[in-house]
Amino acid sequence: MATEISSLGEFGLIDRLTREFPLVNESSVLGVGDDAAVIRVPSDKELLVTTDLLLEGIHFDVRYVPLMHLGYKAAVVNFSDVYAMNGTPKQITVSIGVSSRFTVEHIDAIYAGIRIACENYGVDLVGGDTSASVTGLVISVTCLGEVEKGKAVKRGGAQETNLICVSGDLGAAYMGLQLLERENTVAAQSGDPNFQPNFSGKEYILQRQLRPEARKDIIEKLREAGIVPTAMMDVSDGLSSELLHICKASDVGCRVYEDRIPIDYQTALMAEELNMNLVTAAMNGGEDYELLFTVPLTDKEKIERIDGVRMIGYITAPQLGAALVTRDGGEIPIRAQGWNAFNNPAETEEVEVVEETAGATAPGDAASAESDGETQGES
């Protein structure tokens, strides 16, 4: 049975949503329940702060992504920003605006995803806000993290001859989004209320879009190997955009090799199925949340021993510009063609929040037991 949010009131809703978030970090002195949280920053650490705003109709679509996934993703993308600074996420605050289409059970599903993300990464929920919204669903997450003094890795430290490295594989999240949009279109055209999307054999790219993971493991491996990157970013807007960000901030150029870009088999199959250029998808797709970083040439052997990291190119003098070296040895200038929130954003459309479709998996093996009332959404 659906529960109207107004029946709980703001403070009743906050209590319901946050009561199952225990504090696990020593730096979290005081969490939800007072006028402000209290955070203790150790004297040998520096504080990192990052925030993301997710708007319905711009960053996600409630017609085809479960709200539990949306909550998980909203938290994890902030964790990723902290790891990309060579830090460790410790606390988050979550503010949410909801329209009258949403019930208490819908919001429960979002916070269930946030809770699973916090448990997986050892992060505390310490505050936030709730409000009514006339423009659909709005989620804003702010993450606080710690980094050893002097060890924060910025975008502006890349130097000539540095190796360019990337974790994991690229383009999968974008192909997962194309799959979701295709099946949503087919469902609308069919007119069948019992339509079941076809995700068979495409589970990996679907997961990469719905349930991305921050690369905590890569940061840990770099630390164990004694490697401190000279520059680093997470791949949120697309490899091409992130490369240009590093080049601009560091006042350098770069060369990236087409045949070195890591791409998963399911990503390649989906690109072929949709008749899309695979390299374009990998360079510009975005939302992979892999780590793009540069290291001195002297760290080459160390990098080669780290599973899950690929060297894809090198840093050059700034006058040489940024280019993709093709398989035949040609060069194509790299252009920023990834995600841009201000490129003709669609107007928010009032759509029904539909119930979860078959085939979508909850974030985490234990999440299925918490999915009652879960609905659909996207980023």
Greater confidence, 8 or 155? Answer: 155
- DSSP label at residue 344: S
pLDDT in tens, 141-151: 999 999 999 99
Q: Please report the pLDDT score of residue 104 as a whole number.
A: 87
| Residue 86 and residue 152 in contact, taking contact as beta carbons nearer than 8 Å | yes
Cβ atoms within 10 A of the Cβ of 131, count? 10
Mean pLDDT of 159-186: 95
Cα(256)–Cα(284) distance, rounded to whole angstroms?
14
Domain boundaries, given as residue ranges, for the chain? 5-152+344-370, 155-333
pLDDT in tens, 53-97: 999 988 888 888 899 999 999 999 999 999 999 999 999 999 999
Of 18-27, 99-108, 157-166, 168-177, where does mean pLDDT reach its minimum?
Answer: 18-27
Q: Please report the pLDDT score of residue 379 as a whole number.
A: 33
Greater confidence, 340 or 127? Answer: 127
Cα(6)–Cα(142) distance, rounded to whole angstroms?
26
How big is the chain by its Cα radius of gyration, in Å? 21
Greater confidence, 346 or 26? Answer: 26
Measured in whole angstroms, how far is the alpha carbon of residue 129 from the centre of its chain?
22
Mean pLDDT of 369-375: 34
Q: Please report the pLDDT score of residue 182 as a whole number.
A: 92
| Residue 123 and residue 75 in contact, taking contact as beta carbons nearer than 8 Å | yes
Cβ atoms within 10 A of the Cβ of 361, count? 17
pTM: 0.86
Q: What's the pLDDT band for 250 if we cut at 50, 70, 90?
A: very high
| Residue 180 and residue 64 in contact, taking contact as beta carbons nearer than 8 Å | yes
Q: Please report the pLDDT score of residue 9 as a whole number.
A: 60
Greater confidence, 4 or 319? Answer: 319
Sign of CA dihedral 10, 14, 17, 20: negative
Cα(66)–Cα(375) distance, rounded to whole angstroms?
5
Q: What's the pLDDT band for 119 if we cut at 50, 70, 90?
A: very high
* Fold observed for domain 155-333: Phosphoribosyl-aminoimidazole Synthetase; Chain A, domain 2 (3.90.650)
| Residue 355 and residue 375 in contact, taking contact as beta carbons nearer than 8 Å | yes
Q: Please report the pLDDT score of residue 135 as a whole number.
A: 82
Mean pLDDT of the chain: 87
Cα(179)–Cα(274) distance, rounded to whole angstroms?
9
HSE value, Cβ hemisphere, 13 Å, CA-based, for 175: 32
300 has a pLDDT exceeding 90? yes
Two domains, one topology: 5-152+344-370 and 155-333 = no
Q: Please report the pLDDT score of residue 197 as a whole number.
A: 86
CATH 3.40.1350.10 applies to domain 5-152+344-370:
no
Measuring CA to CA, which residue among 58, 67, 52 is closest to residue 135?
58
Beta strand extents in the chain (DSSP E only): 28-30, 38-39, 45-55, 88-98, 124-132, 138-148, 163-167, 231-234, 253-257, 291-295, 309-316, 322-325, 331-333
Provide the β-strand partners of residue 50.
143
Q: At residue 136, what are phi and psi to the nearest 5 degrees? A: 95, -155
